[in-house]
Amino acid sequence: MRVTANPSYMVKPAEPTWSGRLPLSELDHTGMTTHVPTIYFYKQPSQNWATVLQTLITSLASILVHFYPLAGRLVFIAGGRLELDCNTAGVQFTEAFADVKLVDLDDFLEFPIFDNLIPKVDYCNTQVEETPLLLLQVTRFLCGGWSLGFCISHAAVDGQSAIHFLSEWARACRGEPLGSPPHLDRKVFRAGDPPATSSNIGIEQHTQFCPLPFLLGQTSNENERRMETTVTNLKLTETHVRKLRNKANEYRKSETERGFTRYEAVTAHAWQTSCKVRNLEPNQPTIIGICIDVRTRMEPPLPEKYFGNAIVDMIATGTSGEIVSETLGYVSSKIRDTIAKADDEYVNSMIDFLKNQPDLTKFQDLQSIKDGEGPFYGNPNLSVISWLTLPMYGVDFGWGKEYFTGPGTHDAEDGDFLILPGEEGGGSLVVALCLQARHMEDFKRVFYESIE
């Protein structure tokens, strides 16, 4: 497939908006400070392409009036911290053309087809202050169908906020009024405020900031970082998911204990499978990073449509021998117990821990991309993110709902797992993953065989 792109340009809010600096919360500074790509495919619209394109651009400018921080830029301040400069510099928009039809893309499971359909950010040669927070690419196919490549800064928003913006843009494109305005004030997470407690909060209370385990006998992850990786999608039918949950629930301590969720069971299954196919020593320490939305875990819960990052990373730990030899339910309980710790008290303790740090640079992965250092959840570890609660399907810009949607692959590393709802609905799932190429085929085989 060959994709030809026109020069990009900036789309700015259609009306004047507030200008100035917005402080980011500590939760905006952790996890990924890079961009997260997704893609939507649509069949041929009923209107001509010029009208479609102009409607997309005009509605984008109008919705940016309400979501004006996305038209701004990040700036570094003292201590490796970031602020959001609401300067209406604009959202990058690119129009492109592909020399294939949508039907030529098969079942969309081969990620390389997305590479030229989603905007890229050159972190090595572009300053943060010059990088758009949102980059869009609209690509038209020979059949008249089109795709929307959506690449958004994770330092600015998390998945819930990104989908909120996308949904409101689609409403505006359909000619409908704003449904739910974003809550832009990040003071609910004490953004820009001093710490509430002293600096005696130890890193041992927040293990997600501790160095991750290396392979036994190694003093760095340098060798593992260099390994060739590959990415794929694994489909889990509703029957697959039910079998995994039933297997996990055999471990329940009593009939009154709540059954394990599909996320808990599938995540535990992925952890067990990775330990098996990586051939780790039984005493090899291994961790799994779990990304948790805390919107409803805070007291009181966050305002509706809070616009920013409201996620924390938690760490479940074990040894490879323990994870492989124990039951799926036992490993699922490790996942559940780790998630349960992310309550209001823990999140505020984490915020204070970060506020007491003189420099947050070491907790950000934007610089690590340039330096080849920083958090690495590859062998012997994993990082699992769930999109199961994101309303990512059914985004209609006025010419019908998407034909297919899925994640992009930019910056994917060994050990990155993403769990998505299946297209067919019900309880089906899709597990998108990146692993070292030498382990991928074994992982696929064991992943499915172990279910049966």
The pLDDT value recorded for residue 365 is: 57
The phi and psi torsions of 330 (rounded to 5 degrees) equal -60, -45
Q: Helix, strand or coil for residue 142?
A: coil
Q: Indicate the DSSP class of residue 335.
A: H
Q: Which residue has the tokens 């293990």?
A: 207
The pLDDT value recorded for residue 345 is: 94
**Alpha-carbon distance 257 to 66, whole Å?**
44
What letter represents residue 144's amino acid?
A: G
**Alpha-carbon distance 431 to 388, whole Å?**
11
**Alpha-carbon distance 274 to 446, whole Å?**
9
Angle CA(141)–CA(145)–CA(146) in degrees, nearest 5?
75
User: What residue spans of 33-112 are helical by DSSP H?
Assistant: 49-63
The pLDDT value recorded for residue 368 is: 46
Per-residue pLDDT of the chain (452 residues; tens, 9 = 90+): 899 999 999 999 999 999 999 999 999 988 667 899 999 999 999 999 999 999 999 999 999 999 999 999 999 998 889 999 999 999 999 999 999 998 888 666 555 668 889 998 888 888 889 999 999 999 999 999 999 999 999 999 999 999 999 999 999 999 999 999 999 999 999 999 998 876 666 666 787 888 899 999 999 988 999 999 998 889 999 999 999 999 999 976 666 578 999 999 999 999 999 999 999 999 999 999 999 999 999 999 999 999 999 999 999 999 999 999 999 999 999 999 999 999 999 999 999 999 998 888 777 654 444 444 556 889 999 999 999 988 888 999 999 999 888 888 656 789 999 999 987 667 899 999 999 999 999 999 999 999 98
Mean model confidence pLDDT for the chain: 91
The pLDDT value recorded for residue 107 is: 62
Query: Which of 390, 392, 432 is closest to 415 using CA atoms?
Result: 432
CB 160 within 8 A of CB 309: no
Query: Which of 154, 191, 210, 178 is closest to 35 using CA atoms?
Result: 154
pTM equals 0.92
CB 294 within 8 A of CB 347: yes
The pLDDT value recorded for residue 341 is: 95
Q: Indicate the DSSP class of residue 50.
A: H
**Alpha-carbon distance 34 to 44, whole Å?**
32
**Alpha-carbon distance 250 to 277, whole Å?**
24
Q: Helix, strand or coil for residue 204?
A: helix
Task: Verify cis geometry, omega within 30 degrees of 0, for the bond prior to 181.
Answer: no
Domains of the chain: 3-189 (3.30.559.10), 216-451 (3.30.559.10)
Q: Look at the chain and count its residues.
A: 452
**Alpha-carbon distance 196 to 9, whole Å?**
43
Angle between the N-to-C axes of helices 49-63 and 159-173, in degrees from 0 to 180, rounded to the nearest 10: 120
The phi and psi torsions of 363 (rounded to 5 degrees) equal -100, 5
Residues taking part in catalysis: 154, 396
The pLDDT value recorded for residue 369 is: 42
β-pair partners for 23: 83
**Alpha-carbon distance 174 to 139, whole Å?**
19
The phi and psi torsions of 270 (rounded to 5 degrees) equal -65, -40
Query: Which of 303, 260, 277, 288 is closest to 385 using CA atoms?
Result: 288
Helices and strands per DSSP (H, E), number in the chain: 11, 16
Token couple for 321: 């021998």
